[in-house]
Amino acid sequence: MSRHIDFKSIGLATFLLTSCLVAAEEHIVLTLERAAEAAVQDNPNLAQMLARSKAMAAIPPQVGALPDPTISFNALNLPVDTFNTAQENMTQLQVGVSQSIPFPGKLNLREDAATFEAGAVALDATELRSRLLGDVKTTWWLLFYLDRTLKIVENNRTLLRQFVEITRTKYEVGEGLQQDVLLAQLELSKLLDKLIKLKGLRNNAVAQLNTLLNRAAVQTIRLPETCEQRLPGIISVKALYHLAKESRAVLAAQHQSINAARSRLDLAEKEFYPDFNLGAFYGVRDQTLSGLERADFVSVKLSMNVPLFAYRKQTKAVDQRTSELMQQQYALQDKWNNVRSQISQAFNDYQRAKTRFVLFKTGIIPQARQTVASMLAGYQVNKVDFLNLVRSQITLFEYETQYWKTFTEANQALAQLTAAVGKEEIYE
């Protein structure tokens, strides 16, 4: 009995399943913690750095091992007239083994240098992870701010529509002015323009965050509707400096690079001493030479290289490695200066944003809301002109936007600060 495969049904089922999975994923709320976990697990740049770190970790045992021994097979003193191994007494077939032996200490120094380099790469991966998390958090908070601002714009559009209805009603009964209606409609159009710009900025932020999470740039991102609106206290700048000196991966990696450069310098100084080659050989002689019994030969060989051109080679190599060590030491100082600058800037940004956030939350916004309510009540009984009412509402809109902006800037500064320090434990 033949079976027919319905490819259309299979294709339709696959499409429906894919659509369901995409729809389900779009309804998943992307919290900050979930975004950070996804970035660490899926970011390809971090993955390639971790793969490089693993590859570098395999180098030290290789460079610290002796060179492979050499096995040789030789025919010695073979007469060219007959190529007969029994013709001459000195003819022999020889087998031997030889081993190159670097001067004592060289292999250890090579292994040490490679170990330090591998350690630096591993710490570079840690540094990249820290920067990645900082970028993810910064972009996430930007997206959070845009969502809050979009919601504020929508609320203000709804309110201005109510203003339009109020002004139109008052105009129709002869208690209002046509210019009030036109002004309200103008403000509605301006909010629509702002809405279009904000949606464009949100699409760009979504694409940026999706890229960090190794997802399709157009994949929908849904953030939580609310969050804890609290900004913690952090330790002093000097304490942050001390913490970064112990924890920041970029500094630890530079220390490893200095150790590697120092090992390479010590190795260059060792190159003034010779390397050796030790060999043992066994020569077999043909016993068929008439009337003679011939003994086999054993040979031992010891050779070494002689640094006759030390002034042009070994001395210059020492100069090179010395300069490279100084370069790495200067690089450490430069990176330390950059780390302190990053910490100071992020600390100042956080403190400024936190102060403004508290001011908006406890003072400016409650006062602005009271002003709008008072203006609206006064306008409805013809005690306040419409222009002042609109101005008060626009001012409230700007303050509410600034409130979320300062809250976002504070959290972004915290993300950059933890990345600059290299640890999360920066709070009082």
What pLDDT, on the 0 to 100 scale, is given for residue 1? 43
- For residue 190, which amino acid is it? K
What pLDDT, on the 0 to 100 scale, is given for residue 2? 44
Q: What are the sequence ranges of the domains in the chain?
A: 21-66+102-272+307-421
Mean pLDDT in runs of 10 for the chain (428 residues)?
51 52 60 89 90 93 92 89 81 91 93 94 92 92 91 82 71 63 76 87 91 87 83 90 92 94 94 93 78 81 90 91 94 95 93 91 86 77 72 82 91 92 83
CA distances from 135 to 126, 216, 237, 276, 282 (A): 14, 18, 22, 54, 68
What pLDDT, on the 0 to 100 scale, is given for residue 171? 63
Confirm or reject CATH 1.20.1600.10 for domain 21-66+102-272+307-421, answering yes or no. Answer: yes
- For residue 246, which amino acid is it? E
3-class SS letters over the chain: CCCCCCHHHHHHHHHHHHHHHHHHHHCCECCHHHHHHHHHHHCHHHHHHHHHHHHHHCHHHHHCCCCCCEEEEEEECCCCCCCCCCCCCCCEEEEEEEEEECCCCHHHHHHHHHHHHHHHHHHHHHHHHHHHHHHHHHHHHHHHHHHHHHHHHHHHHHHHHHHHHHHHHHHHCCCCCHHHHHHHHHHHHHHHHHHHHHHHHHHHHHHHHHHHCCCCCCCCCECCCCCCCCCCCECCHHHHHHHHHHHCHHHHHHHHHHHHHHHHHHHHHHCCCCCEEEEEEEEECCCCCCCCCCCCEEEEEEEECCCCCCCCCHHHHHHHHHHHHHHHHHHHHHHHHHHHHHHHHHHHHHHHHHHHHHHHHHHHHHHHHHHHHHHHHHHHCCCCCHHHHHHHHHHHHHHHHHHHHHHHHHHHHHHHHHHHHCCCCCEC
